[in-house]
Structure 1
Amino acid sequence: MGRQLNVRNDEAYELAHIIARRVGRPVTDVVRDALRVYGETLPAVDGMTPTQLQRYESLRALAKRTAAQALPGATSDHDDLYDEYGLPK
């Protein structure tokens, strides 16, 4: 058995039990799942939620893989396509 959490708020206690009865699951599972969902909405210390941080890391990995496949001499310079006013040549 894991560590214990004591709830000293009547409303929180009732809500947890009502939801547990409605979904047919133990109160512990309901509280754990609710805390996980709530935790996902909180900004992390660096300003990103865990979901945002995961997406950010995925995009960084994608950018790294993409950069590794760049052809030699390839650039993002498109000056030869546009005139001095930014219009296509």
Structure 2
Amino acid sequence: MGQLNIKDEALIADAKALAELLGTSTTAALREAVQARLAAERAARDDKVRRKYEALMAIGRRVRESLPPGASFSSDHSDLYDENGLPK
């Protein structure tokens, strides 16, 4: 695994302060902080995907409700073609 070389003095100071508060090493404090942020970002992304899915499903329901009674959701379009598969 590679090495991470941090040259930001403020970040280093914050990492050391976090480690002291947590009673752990700087590496462990950074690991915990990064893992927490990564989990939060993944959860936010999953929530965004879920909301998009729900919005699309709602659109589908509205479209279905706007169709006249008896309209079907079939891919059978045989009424449009003759016995040779050509358009009528």
Instruction: Please say whether Structure 1 and Structure 2 have the same fold, judged by a TM-score greater than 0.5.
Output: no
With normalisation by structure 2, the TM-score equals 0.44
* Structure richer in helix, relative to its length: 2
* Structure number with larger C-alpha Rg: 2
TM-score by length of 1: 0.44
